[in-house]
Amino acid sequence: MQAGKAAESRDAGRPLQVTMKRGYEVLRDPHLNKGMAFTLEERQQLNIHGLLPPCFLGQDAQVYSIVKNFERLTSDLDRYILLMSLQDRNEKLFYKVLTSDIERFMPIVYTPTVGLACQQYGLAFRRPRGLFITIHDRGHIATMLKSWPENIIKAIVVTDGERILGLGDLGCYGMGIPVGKLALYTACGGVKPHECLPVMLDVGTDNEALLKDPLYIGLRHKRIRGQAYDDLLDEFMEAVTSRYGMNCLIQFEDFANANAFRLLHKYRNKYCTFNDDIQGTASVAVAGLLAALRITKNRLSDHTVLFQGAGEAALGIANLIIMAMEKEGVSKDAAIKRIWMVDSKGLIVKGRASLTSEKERFAHEHGEMKNLEDIVKDIKPSVLIGVAAIGGAFTKQILQDMAALNKRPIIFALSNPTSKAECTAEQCYTYTRGCGIFASGSPFDPVTLPSGQTLYPGQGNNSYVFPGVALGVISCGLKHIGEDVFLTTAEVIAQQVSEENLQEGRLYPPLVTIQDVSLKIAVRIAEEAYRNNTASTYPQPKDLEAFIRSQVYSTDYNSFAADSYTWPEEAMKVKL
């Protein structure tokens, strides 16, 4: 059951929350708990008077207290645990803290710190969040979903933990990613947290270190694959949509390449689903490229793009680049010829052994090459994108060559976490002598050039994409999420980058504006959905922006004071 039902107080116009819970039940429910912000009247009516210190604090004072505790801690993992513990006991305050300084707190609840938290999830584990479904639960997933206390779920983030960020197979420890992702659905997009569900599909792990780890919280056997795995996924998708409806958004997160594309192709036209590693990463990367074109003063189809990496992120970005080039009037074949890829075996070329069908599409006539420095000199790219999670792959020589080949080279080091970045912002700006147009997946500090100019590297974080996409999809009831949604999203993000941002080196809007960016993305997605007759929320709202704003979660506390009133005196007379 949902924790409480919001209504409007007739007296003050403030949201009034009604709950049947009393006493400790209220204080132990993060949806309801306000800590010392409960008024005396609320404490008395909810039977919690005496269970709290005789002190009354406003929400701002509570935020101040949390921030002071945050600053007192010296390690990011401890800060992560502090914020997750707050989420476990006071949800509204957690999101109030996050949104008070999103630039400061996002790197703690999401990349890069969430990667460290996942690696040490056994140590950081305090209270279970989300739903853990295992390969041994086949045939019973519908029953397990009924264990979840909320009846209305509009967004699910699901992982099997096989490819967590650039860290590999973390098995059940990967649950930190869906939890962190959904926290940003709310903090950045305003999706209601009680309508979100993180899910871990535990089919085992091939990580020997975890199998031997006494603190490991998942199944202790090798990953189960093949038909049994597919049956689990099919049952999960059917059970979710049966319980929560066909419009329930299901985001796939951190599945290995072998499954990511296959599952996306299998489910995309049947369910309301997308894969953030493929499509979200593509959207934010293309957004950065579209913004960079305002610096290079040319078209995307004028560029030659070289990818270090040919996994799901690279292929997703490449496919969206093709769509963007086609929109400029270039044929699909001509667009494909502008894109080159390097995987673990070297340059992807025609005739090379063991190429998947996805990689084959980007194989061109060329001799085989293995060394990235040699490949850059030979292909002469104007755009270099790193998505292979090989830290330091963009060497000093490569960065210098990119600057020699191009007046303004575009260099994206998108791998997460920071330790896996292909180069740092400082390395890029230093070795290209300030002419490199840089973006990264994890945050980097500003860099001051010898000239005295300070550049603020753009962080191509997927959090610019998935919260706004989720808000738009949920608001208009979009049935299926096509690639056009992600190109639209990229265009909206790029449009929010000001000339002043570009001069500072930013290819993305400042993170402090991310809630406004998410709203604009949601409105554009909804507009196009109604125009294309793919929405299912009817009648169509007259003012889409106002309607979507009304759906956004408020971090302000509700009132629990009783909605009390009197009747006419005559009606209240006791009859003898």
Cβ atoms of 420 and 390 closer than 8 Å? yes
Helices 281-296 & 483-495, crossing angle to 10 degrees?
A: 40
> Tokens at residue 198, please?
């993180």
- Tell me if 476 sits within 8 A of 525, measured CB to CB: yes
The answer to whether the beta carbons of residues 98 and 167 sit under 8 Å apart is: no
CA distances from 110 to 104, 206, 283, 490, 504 (A): 11, 24, 18, 21, 25
Residue whose token pair is 């919280």: 217
Pair 364, 339: CB distance under 8 Å: no
Sign of CA dihedral 379, 380, 383, 387: positive
Q: Distance between CA 379 and CA 371 in Å, rounded?
A: 12
Tokens of 184: 């940003």
Quote the CA–CA distance of 42 and 32 in Å, as a whole number.
Answer: 12
423: burial class by Cβ within 10 Å (0-12, 13-18, 19+)? buried
> How far is it, in rounded angstroms, from Cα 325 to Cα 505?
24
Cα angle value 383/389/393 (rounded, 5°): 60
Active-site positions read 110, 181
Neighbouring C-beta atoms of residue 156, cutoff 10 Å: 23
d(CA 151, CA 543): 29
**d(C-alpha 481, C-alpha 476), whole Å:** 12
| Distance, CA of 242 to CA of 52 (rounded, Å) | 42
Burial 475-487 (b: 16+ CB within 10 A, else e): bbbbbbbbbebbb
Token digits for 556?
């302000």
Residue with tokens 């994890």: 442
Sign of the Cα pseudo-torsion (541, 546, 551, 557, in order): negative
CA 346 to chain centre: 31
> What is d(CA 44, CA 22) in angstroms, rounded to the nearest whole number?
10
Q: b or e along 313-329 (b: 16 or more beta carbons within 10 Å of the residue's beta carbon)?
A: bbbbbbbbbbbbbeeee
DSSP-assigned states of every residue in 2-31 = -S-EEEE-TTT--EEEE----THHHHT-TT
Going by C-alpha positions, the residue among 440, 469, 394 that lies closest to residue 285 is 440
Residue 523 has φ and ψ, to the nearest 5°, of: -65, -45
State how far the Cα of 323 lies from the Cα of 335, in Å rounded to an integer.
9
